[in-house]
């Protein structure tokens, strides 16, 4: 039996299915979670299907969350999408169900769940959900296709990042045929507020870059307040240093109201997720996140990036 078969068999055994995703959702988290929910609703109209988790912030144009009482977890199947580590699952109640399925595309550092499908070759978890639907001949609604397409566009940086394969493009092409308004969706995903645009200017002006292309910038609370920006608005800023020719790998340190720093690491070459793992984080080889308790720890992380960039430039590592 294939893994898609196994997952479908388990889904068929339950009348109630509750789908979770990671905290601070991005388009792929919501696309995979709510795309799967839409597909299950369309194919199994008698089952109760819920999509749950914390605030979706400015991604409400993609989907909204269901609010459900604890009792509904009793005897339910829980599916978690796009979430590598159990502590990052949004909604602690994910463990209250009868069985748990993990579907993800991050390195499988925390293999939680009774049934797991982890495909690190996939550009996005939304691509995996689309693969599932196509492999099992499930009906896709227009909105399911929109959600999955949005997730793929989000996680591939509009098909630019190296995780984009010919298969990714084939899946995206099939999804486009479902007739949703892709122009509108792309605009919703790409447009930024004037405040974020102004903060981009600050980021470019203040980015520090060493001779090997290691870059960093601090976005502290004073700066975020000055530009009227919340942590959730910073997603659009994180890829920007990568558009600079001399930048090879970079860190964006975003100070949180509690005082610690959210660390967002990206790379065009050296693998950086091992650094992230050493600082309570993880993620993909070229896109990871971590946490640092103060500026000194951020500087430590930056020094690790500098060493990686130096070795990479000298061809000592890949």
Given the complex with ligand AMP, which of 14 and 218 has the nearer CB atom? 218
The DSSP 8-state label assigned to residue 244 in this structure reads S
Q: How far is CA 37 from the centre of its chain?
A: 17
State yes or no: residue 215 binds ligand AMP (CB under 6 A).
no
CB of 89 to ligand AMP, least distance (A): 11
Interior CA angle at 155 toward 213 and 142, to 5°?
Answer: 160
CB of 166 to ligand AMP, least distance (A): 22
CB of 148 to ligand AMP, least distance (A): 17
Strand partners, 49: 17
State yes or no: residue 128 binds ligand AMP (CB under 6 A).
no
Given the complex with ligand AMP, which of 180 and 279 has the nearer CB atom? 279
d(CA 124, CA 120): 9
CB of 151 to ligand AMP, least distance (A): 12
What is the length of the chain?
318
Instruction: Evaluate whether 219 touches 234 at the Cβ level (below 8 Å).
Output: yes
Q: Which residue among 33, 43, 288, 306 contacts ligand AMP (CB under 6 A)?
A: 288
Binding mask 240-269 for ligand AMP (x = CB under 6 A): ------------------------x-----
Given the complex with ligand AMP, which of 85 and 108 has the nearer CB atom? 85
d(CA 111, CA 101): 10
State yes or no: residue 232 binds ligand AMP (CB under 6 A).
no
Give the residue closest to ligand AMP by C-beta: 289
State yes or no: residue 165 binds ligand AMP (CB under 6 A).
no
d(CA 73, CA 147): 25
Cβ burial 206-233 (10 Å sphere, 16+ → b, else e): ebebeebbbbbbbbeeebbeebebebeb
Q: How far is CA 227 from CA 18, 29, 63, 220, 294, in A?
A: 38, 27, 27, 11, 22
- How many positions of this chain bind ligand AMP (CB under 6 A)? 16
Helical axes 142-155 vs 125-135, angle rounded to 10°: 140
Q: Which residue among 281, 292, 305, 312 contacts ligand AMP (CB under 6 A)?
A: 281
According to CB under 6 A, which residues from 32 to 91 bind ligand AMP?
Answer: 84-85, 88
d(CA 40, CA 28): 18
d(CA 52, CA 87): 16
What would the two tokens of residue 175 be? 């999804």
Q: Which residue among 8, 59, 287, 308 contacts ligand AMP (CB under 6 A)?
A: 287
Given the complex with ligand AMP, which of 150 and 289 has the nearer CB atom? 289
d(CA 55, CA 67): 11
Given the complex with ligand AMP, which of 198 and 280 has the nearer CB atom? 280
Q: Which residue among 118, 214, 286, 290 contacts ligand AMP (CB under 6 A)?
A: 290
Given the complex with ligand AMP, which of 142 and 220 has the nearer CB atom? 220
Backbone angles phi, psi at 151, to 5 degrees: -65, -40
According to CB under 6 A, which residues from 85 to 104 bind ligand AMP?
Answer: 85, 88
Q: Which residue among 16, 20, 21, 284 contacts ligand AMP (CB under 6 A)?
A: 284
- Interacting residue ranges for ligand AMP, rule: CB under 6 A: 84-85, 88, 106, 238, 264, 280-284, 287-291
């Amino acid at each position: 039996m294939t893994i898609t078969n196994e997952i479908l068999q388990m889904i068929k055994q339950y009348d109630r299915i509750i789908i979770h995703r990671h905290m601070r959702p991005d388009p792929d988290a919501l696309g995979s979670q709510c795309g799967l929910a839409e597909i299950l609703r369309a194919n199994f109209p008698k089952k109760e299907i819920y999509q749950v988790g914390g605030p979706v912030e400015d991604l409400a144009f993609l989907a909204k969350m269901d609010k459900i009482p604890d009792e509904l977890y009793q005897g339910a199947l829980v599916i978690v999408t796009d979430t590598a580590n159990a502590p990052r699952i949004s909604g602690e109640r994910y463990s209250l169900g009868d069985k748990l399925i993990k579907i993800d595309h991050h390195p499988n550092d925390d293999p939680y769940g009774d049934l797991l499908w982890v495909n690190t070759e996939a550009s996005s978890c939304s691509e995996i959900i689309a693969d599932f639907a196509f492999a099992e001949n499930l009906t896709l609604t227009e909105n399911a296709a929109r959600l999955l397409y949005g997730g793929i566009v989000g996680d591939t940086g509009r098909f630019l990042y190296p995780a984009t394969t010919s298969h990714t493009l084939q899946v995206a092409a099939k999804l486009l045929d479902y007739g949703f308004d892709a122009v509108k969706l792309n605009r919703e995903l790409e447009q930024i507020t004037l405040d974020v645009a102004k903060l981009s200017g600050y980021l470019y002006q203040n980015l520090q870059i060493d001779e090997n292309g290691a870059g960093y910038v601090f976005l502290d609370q004073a700066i975020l307040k000055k530009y009227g920006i919340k942590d959730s608005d910073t997603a659009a800023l994180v890829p920007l240093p990568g558009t600079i020719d001399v930048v090879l790998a970079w860190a964006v340190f975003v100070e949180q109201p509690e005082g610690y720093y959210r660390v967002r690491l990206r790379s065009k070459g050296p693998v950086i997720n091992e650094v992230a793992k050493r600082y309570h984080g993880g993620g993909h080889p070229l896109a990871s996140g971590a946490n640092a308790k103060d500026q000194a720890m951020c500087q430590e992380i930056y020094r690790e990036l500098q060493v990686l960039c130096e070795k990479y430039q000298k061809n000592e590592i890949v």
